[in-house]
Amino acid sequence: MLLLLLVLALAIVAGSTFGTATISWRDVLAGDVTARTVMIDIRLPRVVLAALIGAALASAGVTFQTLLRNPLADPFILGVSGGAACGAAVTTALGFARIPGVVSIVAFAGACGATFAVFLLARRREYTDPTRLLLSGLVLNALFSAIILIAYALAPATDLTMALRWMMGTLFGATWSDVALLLGFVLASFAVLVAIAGDLRMFAFGEDDAKSRGVDVERVKLIGFAASSIVTGAAVAVSGIIGFVGLLVPHLVRLIWRRDFRVLLPLSALGGAILLVLADLASRVALSTSELPVGAFTAILGVPFFLSLLRRSR
Amino acid sequence: MLDIRGVSYSYDGVEAVRNVSASVGAAQLVGLTGPNGSGKSTLLKLLARVFAPSTGTIAFEGRSIREWPPKEYAKRVAYLPQDPDPTFPMRAVDVVVSGRAPFLGRFEWEKDSDYDEAARALALCDAADLADRYLDEMSGGERKRVFLARVLAARPKLILLDEPLSSLDISHVQQFSNLLRDIVSRTEATVIYATHELNWAAAYCDRMLVMQKGALALDAPPSDLMRPDVVRELFGFDASVVEGWLVPRV
């Protein structure tokens, strides 16, 4: 845990030191005003936002994997991304995308609405079946994809680039108010997840077993899903859809530390933060002329690391 | 200790358990048997509070199990589902110590005393040497012992096991049956286990409960069950009884 905190601190320093403009912390400390502006108002909020989004997605991912007892679950599994993207796409098609903040708000509403719908679809007689939950999410995501395609076909051509950037996930133009907003969501959801962590880890042997151990399974499920979906929705609203972090960081962490959910949750959050800060750095400096999608770099950085760990484990 | 009164349970319009009544005292080894789909697992789940009865009441130590706070009940009654499988690899000792969960507060971690209990339970199940091994690299028999240790880690008074003998070879069936007998005599707990191993259950149990189409068809000492006419009626199985063991008529 301490090790990961240290790595995260180093990653944040590195993330804020390098960029298209050659400015370093030394210039800032020397009193350079431009350097200060670039550092404090542009780079730092972006790096901190990357860390928060990584933490949000990875902790949602590890929660979904635990709750659904499914190693393939990710933060987007319950239609969160589909709902958010659908909201964003429809907003774009209607030509509202240029009003600041609208896409984020609609995306957030779409994410929460989709999760809620999936939950309602999967619920029968006060019991929510994990398999039905997964299937409902999958099917709704397919429906959302169709709506997104239609919306983009009808959208004004000038707005398409922006919409595409959002779909690919971007941290461009991050501000301190984004950071403050997301920080609130991340802290709140993390507190909730920590409070139910002891119950959640009992899902490892199935819901019947957890119930017989005195766990209020349906309540924990509802709280866990709500907290992780809301924080995912908030992350998606701020940055668009950044894949891979939520699915693979928990597995990465599990390959190193084979522990229960109470340990995996904070470790995954830290791991997600580190991976996204580094991926964002790579996406900014890989080409000096333009930015590449950060979601591509989470995979480019994460996959080799993951595969090497997988080969070394039994 | 356990009083089951007119308990029924139905889901999707199917009555899986119908009007079951029985009383079970302390320090007994009880075999729960019956054809596939006769309601054994459902009855165990009702006793473990996984399901709540549609009608009827279950009382444990004189108090309706609905009124027991869930964690308090879980400290006294431990249930082992059929073939539990953790989603991700786990060490045996972590599996066993998770059986102490009902004793922990919300933000509390397992203490040394909980690990002592886990070690004791593993030793009781002859599985002390498995503590640091991972479940996914164990044989079926080893896994069963680890999960039994998990159940024992809470020092329960009532132990409910769903088919603990399934998929064990014959020497492990014997070993495990001995283990159950041992646990009853050493801890004075009552063990109710579902099984299809009629011969083994009859040889080891104090008492047999036989389910048929959701109802309790027989509640008797093993000697009353191990009779050709009774077995034919309850299981549709044509057998002779030789020295207390069922032998099929070929």
Q: Domain spans of chain A?
A: 40-312
Q: How much is the average pLDDT of A136-159?
A: 86
Q: Which chain B residue has the Cα nearest residue A314?
A: B137
**What is the bridge-based pairing of β-strands B14-24 and B29-33?**
unpaired
Contact with chain B for residue A205, Cβ under 8 A: yes
Q: How far is A207 from chain B (nearest CA, A)?
A: 9
pLDDT tens digits, residue range A105-120? Answer: 888 899 889 988 888 8
> What's the pLDDT score for residue A314?
54
Predicted confidence (pLDDT) at residue A20 exceeds the cutoff of 90: no
**Mutant choice from B54, B88, B104, B137 vs A, greatest count of A C-beta within 10 A:** B88
CA separation, residue A26 to residues A20, A22, A23, A36, A39 (Å): 16, 11, 8, 10, 11
Q: How much is the average pLDDT of B231-241?
A: 89
* Phi, psi (degrees; rounded to nearest 5) at B15: -90, 100
Amino acid at B149: A
- The chain-wide mean pLDDT, for chain A, equals 87
CA separation, residue B90 to residues B66, B95, B246 (Å): 33, 7, 40
Predicted confidence (pLDDT) at residue B117 exceeds the cutoff of 90: yes
Count of beta carbons in the 10 Å neighbourhood of residue A58: 32
Predicted confidence (pLDDT) at residue B199 exceeds the cutoff of 90: yes
A214 and B101 within 8 Å at the Cβ level: the answer is yes
Residue A140 and residue A135: Cα distance in Å, rounded?
A: 8
At A18, list the tokens. Answer: 């390098």
In the structure, what pLDDT confidence band is assigned to residue A313 with cuts at 50, 70 and 90? low
As its CATH architecture, domain B2-248 has 3-Layer(aba) Sandwich (3.40)
Residue B94 and residue B100: Cα distance in Å, rounded?
A: 10
Q: Is B213 helix (H, G, I), strand (E, B) or coil?
A: coil
Q: Is A247 helix (H, G, I), strand (E, B) or coil?
A: helix
Residues ≥6 apart with Cβ < 8 Å to B111: none
For chain A, give the percent of residues with pLDDT over 70: 99
Amino acid at B44: L
pLDDT tens digits, residue range A63-122? Answer: 999 998 888 888 877 788 888 888 888 888 887 777 777 888 888 899 889 988 888 888
Q: Looking at chain A, how many residues does it have?
A: 314
**What is the bridge-based pairing of β-strands B29-33 and B215-220?**
unpaired
A40-312 belongs to which CATH class? mainly alpha
In the structure, what pLDDT confidence band is assigned to residue A306 with cuts at 50, 70 and 90? confident
A213 and B74 within 8 Å at the Cβ level: the answer is yes
- A201 contacts A23 by C-beta, under 8 angstroms: no
- The chain-wide mean pLDDT, for chain B, equals 93
Q: Is B195 helix (H, G, I), strand (E, B) or coil?
A: coil
Contact with chain B for residue A195, Cβ under 8 A: yes
A214 and B70 within 8 Å at the Cβ level: the answer is yes
Residues ≥6 apart with Cβ < 8 Å to A246: A57, A58, A60, A61, A64, A74, A75, A76, A232, A272
Nearest to B88 among A194, A254, A262 (CB): A254
pLDDT tens digits, residue range A155-193? Answer: 877 777 877 777 788 888 888 988 999 999 999 999 999
pLDDT tens digits, residue range A256-278? Answer: 887 889 999 999 999 999 999 99
Phi-psi region of A163 (alpha: psi -120 to 50; beta: other; left: phi over 0): alpha
Residue B120 and residue B138: Cα distance in Å, rounded?
A: 20
Contact with chain B for residue A212, Cβ under 8 A: yes
* Phi, psi (degrees; rounded to nearest 5) at A33: -70, -45
Residue B161 and residue A214: Cα distance in Å, rounded?
A: 17
Predicted confidence (pLDDT) at residue B46 exceeds the cutoff of 80: yes
Amino acid at A75: P
pLDDT tens digits, residue range B205-218? Answer: 999 999 999 999 99
Name which residue leads in pLDDT, A283 or A99.
Answer: A283
Predicted confidence (pLDDT) at residue B54 exceeds the cutoff of 90: yes
- A294 contacts A276 by C-beta, under 8 angstroms: yes
Q: At what angle do helices A80-93 and A217-239 cross, to 10 degrees?
A: 40
Q: H/E element holding B60? A: strand B55-60
Residue A195 and residue A185: Cα distance in Å, rounded?
A: 15
> What's the pLDDT score for residue B101?
94
Name which residue leads in pLDDT, A93 or B123.
Answer: B123
Alpha helices in A94-129 (DSSP H): 102-122
CA separation, residue B46 to residues A82, B12, B139, B158 (Å): 40, 16, 30, 13
Q: How far is A263 from chain B (nearest CA, A)?
A: 11
Residue B194 and residue B32: Cα distance in Å, rounded?
A: 4
Residue A94 and residue A270: Cα distance in Å, rounded?
A: 39
ipTM more than 0.90? yes
- B85 contacts B138 by C-beta, under 8 angstroms: no
- A63 contacts A228 by C-beta, under 8 angstroms: yes
Amino acid at B210: V
pLDDT tens digits, residue range A225-259? Answer: 999 999 998 998 888 888 889 988 999 898 888 78
**Mutant choice from B9, B11, B50 vs A, greatest count of A C-beta within 10 A:** B50
B98 and A260 within 8 Å at the Cβ level: the answer is yes
Q: Is A185 helix (H, G, I), strand (E, B) or coil?
A: helix
What pairs with residue B20 in β-bridges? B7
Q: How much is the average pLDDT of B172-197?
A: 93
